[in-house]
Structure formats: C-alpha cells, structure tokens
Structure 1
Amino acid sequence: MARAPIGRQQLLEAARAELLHSNGVVDLNALKRRSGLSTGALYHHFGSKAGLLVAIYEGYQAGLVAAIADDTIPAEGSWGVRERARTHNYVAYHFADPLAELLLDRISMEPEVAELEAGAIGRIIDSAAENIRRGQSRGEISAAVDADLAGACIIGALRHGIARQLGRDPRPSIETTTDQLWAFIAAALGL
C-alpha cells in the first residue's frame, strides 16, 4: 500500500493556515515555522511557492466540482428545481471554505493560479452550456436562449457574485445568497 508523501499534506495545511493568517500571502519563513518543515520540502513536493498555491487551488476546485456534480442534486424534478439545488451547493461550498474569499480574490491573481482558474472556469462554462441545452431539449428553457452565452454569463455572475457576498460584513446567509443568485439565473433564462 502506497503512502502519501511525507510532509506534502503538512505543507498544504500549513499554507492554508498561513494564507488565512496573512490575508493571502505566504512567507516562506512563516511557512517553515508553521509546518515544521524545511524550504527544501516545499520545493521537493511543489517545485516552488507558486506550485504550492496551484496545489491549494486545485484542491479547492476539485471540491467545488464534486459539490456541484449531478449526483449531489435531486434526480427528480424540473430543470429549475435541480439547478436551484446545484446553485445552493455552489454557494454552500464557498461559504464553508474559509479560503474561498482569498482564492477568488487575491490568490487568483497569481499568474500560475490565474491560468489554472481560467481553464477550470472554461470547463464549468462548457458544462453549464451543455446543461442549458438539456433544459432546452426538455422544453423547459426557450430554444431562443444562446446556451453558450448564457452559460458564460451565469458562471461569471456566480463567480463574481459569490466573491462579493463572501466579502460582506455581515455575510448574508447561504439561503439568502442562493435565493438572490437563483433569481438572477432564472430571469436570465426566462424561467
């Protein structure tokens, strides 16, 4: 049975904690203190500080994809009922991750993370467009809606809308945020 590389998870956890503590900045000396590992361990596991940030973002993105996957929403019901549930999962995932606000704001500006995020968002937009086409084929969304454009607009609105909500003080509830985002999506699709 293969073991996880020694120190990799320790570095990821220490980096997440350091990002929260320092508002999105990872200082290598602070990371060494927090993790109890050397800078060499960081380079061994991630190649660079940017590689560490990419690994953190990849974990976040994988969790998001799992949280909004088809098997997480009701199999029965109209397209709108299912997609409102998916919107709720999207919001709940972001609200549950203490790093979400930083990942959507400061950390996403790092060039390596920005490139990764662009690809991830592109895949989610493609999935949204295909999902809209399924709603159109079922007669629940007008065929006049451009699925590709609507998918891009909806995912962009979700991503930036969530980032705004996460930064509010006090932060609105998951239900309030879901209701507001779903109202936008439903209006955009003429539901």
Structure 2
Amino acid sequence: MSRGTTAEQAPRHTPGRSPKGERTRQRLLALAQEMLAEGRALEVTALAERAGVSASVLYRYFDGKDGLVAAVVHAFYDEYDAAVFSTPAGPGRGWLEQEALRIEREVAFLYRHPLGRAVAAGLLHEPAATRADAERQRVHEAAAARNIRRAQRAGELPASIDAGLAGAVIIGALRSALGEALGRAAPPPEAAVGEMVQAVGETVLRSRLAGD
C-alpha cells in the first residue's frame, strides 16, 4: 500500500444508492480519514464544508458522527486484512517463515497507510474510533490464535502452547512496537520493527518448546 491510499480509492456500490450518492459517501469517508489521520477531532460542520455538502447529508449515509468514524476505522482494517491476511504466503513455506512474512506485511501496511500512524500510536481520540479499533484488534488476536492452532495441527508447534494467550501476546507486541515506532518524529526502519516483533513471537513460542 502506498501513502496515497485512502478510503475513497475503493468505492463499493450499495444496492439502492445512486452512483452520485455512493461518491458522496466515499468522499465523506475519505475526508474523515484525513482529519483522523491528522489526530484531530472530527467536526461534522467542518467536514461537511470540506465535502461541499450540508451537515445533514452526513446522516443520510451514516449513523451520525460515531457511525462515520467507525466506518473509517473499519474500512482501514478491511484494507489491512486484505493486504496482510488475505494475501497468500506462497507454497513451500514453513509456519515460522509465513509468520515472518505476515509481520513484515503488517509493519509495511501500518507504516505506509495514511491512517496507520494514528491507529498504531493511539492518536484516534474519538470514542467510536477507539471502540472500533479494540473490536478489530480482538479479531486479529483470534486470527493469530487460529493460525497457531493450524501450526499445532500440522505438527509445527507443540500442542502445549496456549494458542489464545500466545496470539494475544504476539499481536500486542506488534501493536506496542508499532505505536512506539510511529509515535517518533523519525520512525526506525520497518525491518528493525519487524525483526523485533518476530523475535518476541519466537521467544514466546520457544519458551514452551524448551519445556517439552
């Protein structure tokens, strides 16, 4: 993903909504993303002025300001999941290799997406954004746990590992590391962050391997 990626670049036509209406909705999403990426509170009046519509138009497409904010965060995570979890790792890779590639993709996505810094560094101050972010992080933790269980069934990881706890630790370490990195005026190289998170994950898993 490039720095220019925005919620406006992938409009989805909704049955019953005109093409013009869909463009207006996507425009509101894109402008709201810009405001949130800047660490600003979302002001409906200011957003409507930038979009060239009346403030009441927002309520035609979203469940108020909170609905718009949540839609922006969920759109961000939909792109995140498509870039990281829905992209095949390629044949012939062991579980640890696939995990390293996944971490590399996650770091790259958050570094490059316009909203990545605000999400990772905790700069989304809207309550609806915080709720949506927490919801999607729980989804990622569950996905990480399923990923570990698949490795256990394949015999690549021992059954003694608590997949739920390990998944939460790995996702939490990733988010903490990215929050620190992207919160800096000059973030460290992506590779350094990825290697650190991968080392933490391997330490968590190998602490169980050593005990078996």
Normalising to structure 1: TM-score of the pair? 0.88
Structure 2 portions without partners, runs of 5+: 1-12
Q: Within the alignment, does 1:34 sit opposite 2:46 as a pair?
A: no
Equivalent position SS for 1:142:
coil
Contact 1:24 1:102 in 2 (8 A): no
2:203 is matched with which residue?
Answer: 187
How far off its partner does 1:91 sit?
Answer: 0.6
Q: Which structure shows the bigger proportion of residues in helix conformation?
A: 1
1:85 is matched with which residue?
Answer: 101
* The one of 91, 94, 99 aligned to 1:75: 91
| Distance in 2 (alpha carbons) for counterparts of 1:70 and 1:79 | 16
| Distance in 2 (alpha carbons) for counterparts of 1:91 and 1:72 | 17
Deviation digits for residues 7-31 of structure 1, max 9, x if unmatched?
111111221222334x232222321
Structure 1 portions without partners, runs of 5+: none
Q: Within the alignment, does 1:9 sit opposite 2:26 as a pair?
A: yes
| Distance in 1 (alpha carbons) for counterparts of 2:202 and 2:52 | 50
* The one of 104, 128, 135 aligned to 1:112: 128
How far off its partner does 1:48 sit?
Answer: 1.1
Deviation digits for residues 76-117 of structure 1, max 9, x if unmatched?
21111111000011111101112122234132x533333333
Contact 1:74 1:85 in 2 (8 A): no
Normalising to structure 2: TM-score of the pair? 0.80
RMSD: 2.0
- Moved runs in structure 1, 4+ residues, more than 3 A? none
Bigger mean CA offset, 5-14 vs 50-59: 5-14
| Distance in 2 (alpha carbons) for counterparts of 1:103 and 1:53 | 12
How far off its partner does 1:47 sit?
Answer: 2.4
How far off its partner does 1:6 sit?
Answer: 4.1
Question: Aligned residue pairs: how many?
Answer: 189
1:156 is matched with which residue?
Answer: 172
Deviation digits for residues 149-185 of structure 1, max 9, x if unmatched?
1011111111222122111221112211111111111
1:129 is matched with which residue?
Answer: 145
| Distance in 1 (alpha carbons) for counterparts of 2:98 and 2:72 | 29
Deviation digits for residues 59-92 of structure 1, max 9, x if unmatched?
0111111122253322321111111000011111
Match of 2:59, as an amino acid? Answer: Y
Contact 1:68 1:90 in 2 (8 A): yes
| Distance in 2 (alpha carbons) for counterparts of 1:111 and 1:26 | 11
* The one of 89, 111, 116 aligned to 1:95: 111
Q: Within the alignment, does 1:176 sit opposite 2:182 as a pair?
A: no
Q: Within the alignment, does 1:138 sit opposite 2:140 as a pair?
A: no
| Distance in 1 (alpha carbons) for counterparts of 2:61 and 2:184 | 36
1:19 is matched with which residue?
Answer: 36
